[in-house]
Chains A and B, each alone.
Chain A
């Protein structure tokens, strides 16, 4: 087949040029659209502060001596990294911030397979007190900071320690019973708002 004498091929070429021109126009328009989208995004990022401060949100739900440590250790360390940190305390986690109860956090001897005694023995009266006494002794011997020191340090370094209002009411606590510097009057929406923008979110 000889193409040079085929009139249909000629016309196909001509319409091909038209199609190319049209798609170049289309691409130009798309590039323009992307450019303006990019510049919108840039200004949105700038309006956001444009800084690279990392954020961490921890939800603290437990009020035993051992479970009070991880949120506070991570929170104070993250603050030392210059991160923006919120710890949202709810249910038994509130005890960590409670003026009186935070001084009496206990370790449970029951239901912990790492305890060097069977549950039947661990459930005897005062076994929680004994386990707590032993743990506190180990903490002191090891030079581990106390819960009290960690809370003070965290607050000093700008960590936002929040006490969930719904559970304050549920547990019959009063806002005044919490340590100075603790944020009260906050709920799930406040916690979520910070979590949505956080780089690290933890549930303890």
Chain B
């Protein structure tokens, strides 16, 4: 899938529900360097609000964008998080 972001790594949290998409995103971000972009692929509809809330109040990350799509008849949410420090 083409994306406007220069993705460094993709985290697949499809099938997982709250709080795992946020928790695993944080764990993945901790492994990345400044300016890296993490793509998070989730099926949890709550992840849209949760990840933007998390990015808003967490130092060192910036939410570049969120996209809603579909794969195999299932809604898929893609989140792009940039590491800022």
Interface residue tally for chain B (C-beta within 8 Å): 17
Comparing A39-47, A56-64, A142-150, A163-171, the segment that makes contact with chain B is A142-150
B-facing residues in A71-89 (Cβ within 8 Å): 73, 76-77, 79-82
Picked from B16, B17, B25, B43, the residue with its CB within 8 Å of the CB of A80 is B25
Q: Do A145 and B57 touch (CB < 8 A)?
A: no
A-facing residues in B47-80 (Cβ within 8 Å): 54, 57-59
Q: Do A80 and B15 touch (CB < 8 A)?
A: no
Picked from B20, B44, B54, the residue with its CB within 8 Å of the CB of A81 is B54
Q: Do A80 and B26 touch (CB < 8 A)?
A: yes
Question: CB-CB < 8 A to B16: which residues of A?
Answer: 143, 145
Q: Do A82 and B23 touch (CB < 8 A)?
A: no
Picked from B19, B20, B59, the residue with its CB within 8 Å of the CB of A82 is B59
Picked from B20, B26, B54, B58, the residue with its CB within 8 Å of the CB of A145 is B20
Bound-complex Cα distance A157 to B30 (A): 11
The smallest beta-carbon distance between A170 and chain B, in angstroms, is 31
Q: Do B23 and A143 touch (CB < 8 A)?
A: no
Question: CB-CB < 8 A to B22: which residues of A?
Answer: 77, 80
Question: CB-CB < 8 A to A153: which residues of B?
Answer: 20, 23
Interface residue B18 (Cβ < 8 Å from any Cβ of A):
yes
Interface residue B27 (Cβ < 8 Å from any Cβ of A):
yes
Residues of A within 8 A of B (CB): 73, 76-77, 79-82, 142-145, 153, 156-157
With A76-B23, A153-B20, A157-B23 given, name 15 new contacts (CB 8 A).
A73-B18, A77-B19, A77-B22, A77-B54, A79-B26, A80-B22, A80-B26, A143-B17, A143-B20, A143-B43, A143-B44, A144-B17, A145-B17, A153-B23, A157-B26
Residues of B within 8 A of A (CB): 15-20, 22-23, 25-27, 43-44, 54, 57-59
Could you jot down 23 A-B contacts, CB within 8 Å?
A73-B18, A73-B19, A77-B18, A77-B19, A77-B54, A79-B26, A80-B19, A80-B23, A80-B26, A80-B27, A81-B26, A81-B57, A82-B58, A142-B17, A143-B15, A143-B16, A143-B17, A143-B44, A144-B18, A145-B16, A145-B17, A145-B20, A153-B23
